[in-house]
Every structure is written in structure tokens, then in C-alpha cells.
Amino acid sequence: MLWIAFLPILSVAALYCLRIKKGSCLLLASTGDDSDMKIVPPSGMAPSFEDAGEKAAQEFVMQKENGNIDKAYGLGKRIADVLLEENGPVLTFCEASLQPFVRLQRKILFAFAADTVLNAELPSVLAETASQEFSLQIQKADLFLYEKINDPKTLSYYLLCAKNSRERFENIGKAFALLCGEEGNERLCRLGDCLYGEYRLLCETMIKESQFS
């Protein structure tokens, strides 16, 4: 997700993972230097040959070799540039907003929509790479906005709108109006619904224009 950082460089040789499965843990054991490190399964449990960490590393390498990782970095930066653009589409879609707090809530809703689209449209390694770059760019440009976008309390209002799957959300407009401080305001509810749809379309267009392999 947008708010979970993804390590941009992975070293397969140095990758040692902890895997939790059915309440049991695989433990790292070492005697001496790293060359002696072993994955030690719990008693009676056979080692897993389909380790999720190894799969993720292999997927990253493959996506790096075909150029998709670089495209994901570019996509994350482009989404951040759109968000930070003064009086750009984030602040003018549907209707222009002048109140500072409503403008802030529009930016937060855009970040949420971008994260939803990235995770719905891209493989996880590319979605996480784009999200990490997006988050980094926002943090560098506007620390206050970065903290607001990643505020768990704010995000929970939108996450509670999820229905059945992460691709389907209802009552986004109501959550937007509530976060703007005017719960039940029909104009803000309609605006929030309109914005969410437009933001999703904008992010989907940027993904297509990135031309992932």
C-alpha cells in the first residue's frame, strides 16, 4: 500500500526471511558469521521451498530487468507532481475549492484513490515501488501533507467504505464531507463522490501512459 515503504534495492544473496505460517515461525539461527546462518524450522515442520520473500526478490529482479521498476519510479513521481501542482486537477476537478481545509482533504482523497488504483491495476512489486516513490516525493516537498496523508485515523474513514474488495468503495462522498467537518453536507458528499471517480480515472490514465511491459 501507499503507506508501506518498499525497499528499492534487494540483494537476493543477503535475503533472510522470517515466515509465519499457521501460527508457527521459521527462525534464523547463526553460529559465527553470515555464512553459517541457516533457516531453522520448528520441530516436525519441513522447510518451505516456496518462501514468499524469495519469490518477491525474484519478481523484483524480473521487473527490474524488463524496465518496469524504473517505470514504476517514474509513475510514482508523476502522481506526486500532479498532487503537488498548484491549482492542478486535484484541486479543480468537479468544482474548484478555495477553502484551505477542503483543499487539504482533496489531496488526501487523491492519495487514497491513487493507492487504490495502483494496487488494483499493477503487480504488487510495481504498486509498492510506485507508492514508495510517491510517498518519498511528498515527504520531501511537504512534510505536513505527508503526515496527513498517512494519518491512520483519517485513512480509516475511507477504508471503512470498502465493500467486498479493495476495488469497490461506497460512501466515499460521505466520508469526505465528514473529514471536511461538515458531515451530511449534500454538496460535499456529491463532490467527494465525483472527485473519487475523477481521481481514479486520472491515475488509471497515468498507469496506461507508463506503458508497463
pLDDT tens, position by position, 120-145? 999 999 999 999 999 999 999 999 99
- The whole-number average pLDDT for the span 60-89 is 95
State the average pLDDT for the chain: 81
List the beta bridge partners of residue 163: 165
Extract the C-alpha cell encoding 72.
514504476
Q: How far apart are CA 162 and CA 172, in angstroms?
A: 9
Residue 54 is predicted with a pLDDT of 85
- 10 Å CB burial of residue 203 (0-12, 13-18, 19+) is buried
For the chain, the 3-state helix, strand and coil shares in percent, each to the nearest 5, are 60, 10, 30
Nearest to 104 by CA among 159, 151, 140: 151
pLDDT reading at 10 higher than 90: no
Residue 45 is predicted with a pLDDT of 54
pLDDT reading at 114 higher than 80: yes
Q: What is the H or E stretch that residue 135 is in? A: helix 124-141
Global pTM value? 0.75
Nearest to 191 by CA among 177, 179, 181, 205: 177
Residue 107 · residue 83 · CB < 8 Å: yes
pLDDT tens, position by position, 151-168? 999 989 998 987 755 556
Instruction: Please state which of the ranges 24-33, 90-99, 200-209 shows the lowest mean pLDDT.
Output: 24-33
pLDDT tens, position by position, 22-62? 333 333 333 344 444 444 445 445 545 467 778 888 888 99
